[in-house]
Amino acid sequence: MKKVLITGANSYIGTSFEAWAKEKYPEEFEIDTIDMVDGSWRETSFAGYDAVFHVAGIAHADVGHVSEERKAFYYKINRDLAIETAQKAKRDGVKQFVFMSSMIVYGESAGLGKRKVVTRNTKPHPANFYGDSKWQADKGVRKLADDSFHVAVLRPPMIYGKGSKGNYPLLAKMARKLPVFPDIQNERSMLYIGNLCEFLCLLMKSGDGGIYFPQNAEYVRTSEMVRLIAKTAGHRIWITRLLNPAVWVAGKISGKVSGMVNKAFGNMTYDMTMSQAFEGKYRCVSLVRSIHLTEGKVK
């Protein structure tokens, strides 16, 4: 029985992991959660836990309209709180610390027509304060690792699933409503929440440390994901290259417009050889099934 403490209450990843572990491994995990909003967690002993899973943090920043005070708050939560939590876990004798970093530490995706493949030799280079706050935490917690304190850092790509926030809900809304959608040939690494939860279970059962790059078994093309969502929702949508010139023009407009185009149709993938941890057994849900599950069409 592995005793796990989730540091950060009501997070999408934390609650999803707890539900997954209880369903798939009911006899192997005992999971508690502690709220990090006030300072009372500092008075709670972490002793007796095999692993601390740190999910507290701030995401989805509008990096173009943020005050210096707000930026400082991102560093306080994403960097300082993570490192302080890891320090406490180590002092209290916890054997494994699992930290959710992000693919964002490698910067923004490549624009239309350009490829960006992250390999093990790619150096992190955050493009903004949000990415840098995650990168600083990523480095900070790994410095604490030793033979008796294993630090596992995950740098996942975009995570999606039922109830997820971020880009997926916006894409799904368009897929259910629009009559047509551009057929841009792009590639994205993505990670279904169920595959992430299975990865976390295998990782915590192993007790290992290191840097990990979990992703789905297949890359995703934005237009293909839109087609799958629309089909699952019973909505007819025409995926056509006739709209591609308009997308290319929009991608040339500096500022928010090109940023939105890049988010939707840019290219950014992990080399698949980086994601073979646990022999890839965590990839238990295919892309098609993950869309069905996310859209609530199957159990």
pLDDT, tens only, 125-184: 998 999 999 999 999 999 999 999 999 999 999 999 999 988 899 999 999 999 999 999
**Between the CA of residue 21 and those of 82, 158, 200, 269, what are the distances in Å?**
23, 21, 9, 28
Q: What is the mean pLDDT of residues 276-292?
A: 96
Backbone angles phi, psi at 96, to 5 degrees: -140, 135
Q: Percentage of the chain with pLDDT > 70?
A: 97
Q: Provide mean pLDDT across the span 180-204.
A: 97
More confident residue, 172 or 259: 172
pLDDT given at position 287: 95
β-pairing, 51-54 vs 180-182, is: unpaired
This prediction has a pTM of 0.95
271 vs 110 pLDDT, higher one: 271
Question: Helix or strand or coil: residue 161?
Answer: coil
| Per-residue confidence (pLDDT) for residue 284, from 0 to 100 | 96
Per-residue pLDDT at 299:
56
pLDDT score recorded for residue 30: 97
17-72 pLDDT, tens digit per residue, is 999 999 999 999 999 999 999 889 999 999 999 999 999 998 866 666 778 898 99
Sign of CA dihedral 176, 181, 183, 185: negative
* Mean of per-residue pLDDT scores for the chain: 94
CA distance 145 to 132: 21
pLDDT at 293: 96
∠ CA 171-291-256, nearest 5°, is 15
Task: Please answer whether residues 79 and 64 qualify as being in contact, where contact means their C-beta atoms are separated by less than 8 angstroms.
Answer: no
Contact 228, 36 (CB under 8 A): no
d(CA 117, CA 11): 29
**261 to 2, 194, 241: CA distances (angstroms):** 44, 28, 15
Residues 3-15, mean pLDDT to the nearest whole number: 96
Q: Domains plus CATH for the chain?
A: 2-159+191-215+271-285 (3.40.50.720)
Q: Which pLDDT does position 67 carry in this prediction?
A: 86
- Which residue, chain included where needed, has tokens 């209290």? 92
Residue whose structure tokens are 């027509």: 113
Residue 258 has a pLDDT of 79
Q: 145 near 202, Cβ under 8 Å?
A: no
Apex 160 CA angle, 159 and 166, nearest 5: 85
pLDDT digits (tens, 9 = 90+) for 86-101: 999 999 999 999 999 9
